[in-house]
Amino acid sequence: KQTLLPLLKEEISSFIFPCKPAVQRPERQHMVMELLRCIPLLLFLLFVCGLDHFIFTILSVIQNHSFIEYSYQTSHHLSVNVMGTSLMAQLLRGTIGALNTSFDTEVETSNLACLPRPTGMTRQQYLNTCLPLGALAVLCLAQVYPFRLRRAIAAFYFPKREKARVLFLYNKLLRQRKNFLDLQHGRVARQARQPPTLGTVLLRWCRRHWPWLRRCLRQKCTLCGTPETPQHQPCPNPECFALYCESCW
Please compute the mean of the pLDDT values over residues 113-118 and round it to a whole number: 86
Identify which of 248, 207, 204 has the alpha carbon closest to the alpha carbon of residue 225. Answer: 248
> How much is the average pLDDT of 66-74?
85
Question: pLDDT at residue 103 above 90?
Answer: no
Residue 128's pLDDT band, with cuts at 50, 70 and 90, is very high
Q: Under a CB-based contact definition with an 8 Å cutoff, are residues 243 and 232 in contact? A: yes
With cut-offs at 50, 70 and 90, classify the pLDDT of residue 2: low
Q: What is the DSSP letter of 226?
A: P
Could you please report the per-residue DSSP string of 62-85? HHHH---EEEEEEEEEE-------
DSSP string over 164-193: HHHHHHHHHHHHHHHHHHHHHHHHHHHHHH
Q: Are 67 and 110 in contact (CB under 8 A)?
A: yes
Question: How confident is residue 214, by pLDDT bands cut at 50, 70 and 90?
Answer: low
pLDDT tens digits along 143-189:
989 999 998 899 999 999 999 998 999 999 889 888 887 887 777 77
Would you say 218 and 210 are in contact if contact means Cβ atoms under 8 Å apart? no
pLDDT at site 57: 92
